[in-house]
Structure 1
Amino acid sequence: MTSLAATDLSPPDFLQLAGHPLRWRLLSELARSDRLVHELTGRVGEAQNLVSYHLAKLRDARLVSARRSSADGRDTYYGLDLTRFGALLSQAGGALHPGLRLAPPPRGPVAPARVLFLCTGNSARSQMAEALVRARSGGAVEAHSAGSHPAPLHPNAARVMAEHYGLDLSGQVSKSLEVFADQAFDRVVSLCDRVREVCPPFPGAAEVLHWSIVNPAGGEPDAVTYPRFVAAAADIATRADFLLAALPHETAT
């Protein structure tokens, strides 16, 4: 018989790391939206040096990512890798008992909702997000997109959506965010650091979220930027799935 003394009963490092009260609060904030340090300090009510210390711990564990703001290079946006976090939770549960490994929750039809995606040009990131959310919700989510300075749809955005997701963006047109200024939404999501700075308030109790995603265009030839569009679309698709999981779901009858 195996002795308990010979069995490693210490909790996984991941649990010890995430279980710290302040780090858990930071993770909870970043699970909803990418944020700047000063926003996190205000939300958790702790000093910036303490918040930065714990963010560094989470970065070392690759739970949290950091990216310089494209609006102000002195700022840094922090985000949570929800996919990695979920995998580690599942591994931790399985280490305790095989029956505790996490499985994707059964997803029923998404209840009707309105979501607006914003970026500067409404030419790539927000257009891809609109198409992905509309398709993956089965059309239940009324998805729209707009930009602070609308520009023509980027060819690589249409190409990536067609080749990797089977979605046709040929009918999509760029729109100004002013078109939607007086409309109510369940979620407003900015995908560009610059447009976040100028995002107007929307009527109702819309939750405003931020996905800090680098602009894949960059003014270079399409052949050069295409891999960046593929990576941006994959990031948006993952975030779109988590967004849909957070929206209310209808009970199947």
Structure 2
Amino acid sequence: MTSTRQAVPQFVHLAAHPLRWQLLTELSDSDYRVRELVARVGEPQNLVSYHLRLLRDGGLVTSTRSSHDGRDSYYHLDLDRSAEMIAGAGTVLHPALRMTPAPTAFEPSTPPTVLFVCTGNSARSAIAEELLRLRAGGRVQVLSAGSKPKPAMHPDTVRVLREEFGIDLSGRLPRHLDTLADHRFDVVITLCDKAREVCPDFGDDPRWIHWSIPDPATSRGSNEDTYPAFQATAAEIDTRIRYLLPTLTERTAQ
């Protein structure tokens, strides 16, 4: 008796190619532009662009136009989608290989120090700071700052953290990067394409990560009209932090 022939799961088909696997590995840690990926994988730009297009078509990778240089784009690995596709591939091979979510325990031997950076420190980086502090249960030292900080937090930043996560930002003001010049950080995460280009070197070889996330404050209209953009931004940052936490543990243990 012959077995029923099944199509190769999409994740296996996409990830099995050595270059595509290398690109996925690079993007699992940070968002990158094409020319940066070319340098990291050591392959021609036309070849890298071709395989990025296949990963985009397959739903594993997305791209966003740079807010600093509109001619450029940042590529991002959708980790939630990757997890779904990997789980589906295991189930196709054998029902017993159904995957369950990994535990989210975060118990570093030494609390890592993390800095989030954007331009104004009134929206994205402030949201990231508070959500990492919340999700890590205080077991991480985290700050945020801006290259050109605003005079006050955006009202929708205050609102989304209060209504969606129960976090009170009363009295909190944006912080300037210059005030942290003497600090040491294990991880520096830029959330603004422009701030990435001007972020200073903090020494001691920190781990540099970039999350290319559009500024929700650029949405036009009243605060009521822009609030959905802040909700979406906070949800995306929360998802990225969920995947960041296990890597902070690994980095600290090294």
Query: If the TM-score is normalised by the length of the shorter chain, which range does it land in?
Result: over 0.9
TM-score for the superposition, normalised by structure 2: 0.93
For 2:48 and 2:102, the matched residues in 1 are separated by 32
Partner of 1:238: 239
- Indicate whether 1:52 and 2:49 are aligned: yes
- Alignment correspondent of 1:142: 141
Native 8 Å contact 1:64 1:78 kept in 2: yes
Specify the code of the residue in structure 2 equivalent to 1:165: F
Alpha-carbon distance in 1 for matches of 2:98, 2:78: 19
- How far off its partner does 1:72 sit? 0.5
Contact 2:64/2:74 (8 A) holds in 1: yes
Contact 1:196/1:210 (<8 A) preserved: yes
One-letter amino acid of the counterpart of residue 237, structure 1: D
Tell me, what secondary structure is at the counterpart of 1:105?
Answer: coil
Give the TM-score, by structure 1 length.
Answer: 0.94
User: CA contact under 8 A between 1:23 and 1:54: conserved in structure 2?
Assistant: yes
How many residues get paired? 246
Deviates more, 1:108-117 or 1:236-245: 108-117
Deviation at 1:142, TM superposition (A): 0.8
Q: Which runs of 5+ in 1 are unaligned?
A: none
Query: Is 1:198 the counterpart of 2:198 in the alignment?
Result: yes
Cα deviation, 1:154-185, whole Å, max 9, x if unaligned, reads 11011111111111122422111111122111
Greater CA drift, 199-208 or 187-196: 199-208
Shift of 1:11: 2.2
Equivalent residue number for residue 217 of structure 1 = 217
Instruction: Give the whole-Å Cα distance in 2 for the aligned partners of 1:141 and 1:93.
Output: 34
Q: Is residue 41–residue 48 contact of structure 1 (8 Å, CA) maintained in 2?
A: yes
Q: Take 2:84 and 2:238, find their aligned partners in 1: how far apart are those partners?
A: 18
1:219, distance to aligned residue in structure 2 (A): 6.1
Query: Does the Cα contact within 8 Å between 1:63 and 1:81 map onto a contact in 2?
Result: yes
**Percent identical:** 52
Going from structure 1 to structure 2, the CA distance change for 1:171 and 1:91 (only over 3 Å counts) comes to farther
Once residues 43 and 106 of structure 2 are traced to their aligned partners in structure 1, the CA distance between those partners, rounded to angstroms, is: 40
Aligned partner of 1:16 in structure 2 is 13
Partner in structure 1 of residue 174 of structure 2? 174
SS at match of 2:101: coil
